[in-house]
Every structure is written in structure tokens, then in C-alpha cells.
Chain A
Amino acid sequence: MRKLPYLLPYLLPLLLAFLLAGCGKQESDLPVNTRLGGEFTLTDQNGEPFSQAALNGKVTILFFGYTHCPDICPAVLARVAQVYRQLQEAGEADQVQPVFITFDPERDTAAHLKEYLPWFKANIIGLTGSLEEIRQVAKQYGVVFIKDQQEQDYLFTHSDYIYLLDDQGRVRKLYPADFTIDEVVNDAKSLL
């Protein structure tokens, strides 16, 4: 106890630092996925080059699909739209960006994406490009897509994960197509 007065000049700054640390931004505990992701440049729904770097500064909800898909892809789009709406209600949607990348550039042209995506009312950026460009991005994100010729048309066999990226473009979490809205909302908020 006698030494306490002498220790105070050292203890007080430490105590202050400890208290201030609790007031700062809480880091998300979502781990960084170092195997997936990376930079890319595709074409957006306005026909303009779009670089992945343009997403830095925002949390990105990224998913792959095609507009001729009747089941999984519209369902995912609808769920992502719900996530976006919940974030809007919380006043945080301006920091979150949904992005849809097609693996059917033949039919999903920039013009078609521009007509298709606004209906979901989630400010979704639609990206297309050459098949080679899309194959490269799909590879970066571990996406599988295989053209499957059917009787009347062609469909795709494809993986259907949704990717949550932080404001530095790093993949932080993957979700299945039937993800829980609240889980994605809460995870996105943890990255803001």
C-alpha cells in the first residue's frame, strides 16, 4: 500500500486506456477467409467497367447466379433484398452493397440486368462480362457453374453460396442459399 502513490502515475494511464478501448469500434469476430476473394473488374449494368476496389469502404453481400434461374437465384435475391430492407430500417444500408454476378453473360447482358435487378428494390449492382472474365472471378470465389442443356433451353448446375465481404473487400463469411435473414443482417452490422 505504501507503494501505491508511487505507482499511480503508471497505473492511471493504463486504466484510462483500458476504459477508452471499450468505447471504440468493436472488431467483428468473423475470421478473414484468405483462400477466397481478390480483385476483379467486370461490367456493370450500365455497361461500364466495374472494379472490385470500388466496393472498398462498404460491406458487400456478393452472390452469383443467372436471371433464367427460376428457383434458387430469385429466392436468394429476395432474401438479400430482405436483408437490405432490414438494414435500411436500421439506417445502415448506405454502408452495405449487394452485388450480383452472373455466370450467364450470353443472356444476362448489362441491359438485361439493368431491367431485372431494380425490381428487387435493394440497390443491387449487377455485373456481367466476358465468359473468361466471369470464369476467373468464379474461380477466385470458389464458384462452380456448368452449363446444362435441357430440352427447351439451357440451365446451369451451380454452387449457391452468398459471400459477406468487409470494407476492405475481404471475404469474412459464406452462407448457404437458405440463409437466415437475421444472421446476415447481424453479421453485416458487425462489420460496419
Chain B
Amino acid sequence: MPRACFKFALVAAVLALAVPAHAELTFSDPWLRAVPPVSPAMAGYVTLNNDGEEPVTITGVSTPAAGHTMLHDMESTGDGSRRMVHLHHLEIPAGESVSLAPGGKHLMLMKLTEVPAPGETVEICFHLKGGKDACTGFPVIRQSQTDG
């Protein structure tokens, strides 16, 4: 019996490690906007889907490609200008999606170790409340359909 329990625990542990992302948070259309190789920063966009039954709260973002990564939103100031606002957390209600798109919420990658080129893919991880991470690859795209 102890051997069976041990095997069961081992299989469960392996399966848990094999899950690549948080079961409730999925990603649609992730991409990074390509920028010149001398750029100090670049923006990332994606639709975050909460397929679960509980809200998901993102508390931070990181990537090996940048020394500092932040979630930002844009707000209008009423005089025709807009400013970026650091989002310290982002909650996605159960069953809903939040879109990070040009001109709105977006990822800001700063202190780039090396500017990734168009065609490359950069892994970015979203740190969730509760301690888990959800990661996915962001392809670097020079021209998006949203630019048209």
C-alpha cells in the first residue's frame, strides 16, 4: 500500500509540473511590436482569457528579455493628451477576457537586454495572486493588422 501511495504521489507531482500554464488563464493573439535595435523599450499586447470560475488577479509580469516589465494603461487627461498609468494589478473576472491592445492597456518591456528582432518569440510570464505563473510566447511582429 505505501508503494502504491508513493507511486500515486509521484505521478500526481509529475502531472502538476507538466501543466504549462495556469489552468484558468489562457492567451489569445500575443505579440510584441518590433522596434529599432537601439530602442530602450517595447510594448506587448495580448488578450487574457479567464476560463475559470474564480477571478484571476495578475500582480506582476516578467520576461528574461527585459530588466523591468510593467502593465500599463492609457488614460486621457481631457486636454487632448494621454498618459500611461502603471497597473500594479489586473483582475480578470471569471469567464471574461481583458484585451491589451495598442492605445490601451499594454505590457511595457524596459531595460531590454537585447532588442528581439521580428520573427523571434519572447516568453513572458504573468504572476498571479496565489503564487502561480502563467507564461506564453510573444512573437515579435513588425507590422500588425491593427496598424492598418
Which residues of chain A have a CB within 8 Å of any CB of chain B? 67-72, 74-75, 78-79, 82, 107, 112, 115-117, 119-120, 142, 144-146, 148, 150-153, 155-161, 177-178, 180-181
Contacts and interface: CB of A to CB of B under 8 A. Distances in A.
B111 to A, nearest CB: 7
Contacts of B40: 67-68, 107
B119 interface: no
Given A152-B68, A152-B111, A178-B103, A74 B77 contact: no
A152 B103 CA distance: 21
A150 to B, nearest CB: 7
Nearest to A150: B86
Contacts of B79: 144, 159
Contact of B147 (A68, A72, A79): A79
B38 A115 contact: yes
A177 B148 CA distance: 12
Contact of A144 (B81, B102, B144): B81
Contacts of B33: 70, 74-75, 78
A158 B81 contact: yes
A159 B81 contact: yes
B56 interface: no
Nearest to B84: A155
Contacts of A78: 33, 142-144, 147
B128 interface: no
Interface of B: 33, 35-43, 68, 70, 72, 74, 77, 79-84, 86, 102-103, 106, 108-111, 142-144, 147-148
Interface of chain A, main secondary structure: mixed
A26 to B, nearest CB: 27
Max count, chain B CB within 10 A of own CB: residue among A145, A153, A161: A153
A152 B109 CA distance: 11
A82 B37 contact: no
Contact of A71 (B108, B147, B148): B108
Contacts of B68: 152
A134 B33 CA distance: 28
Q: Which 5 A-B pairs have the closest CB atoms?
A: A157-B83, A119-B36, A70-B43, A70-B41, A144-B81
Contacts of A160: 81-82
A119 B142 CA distance: 11
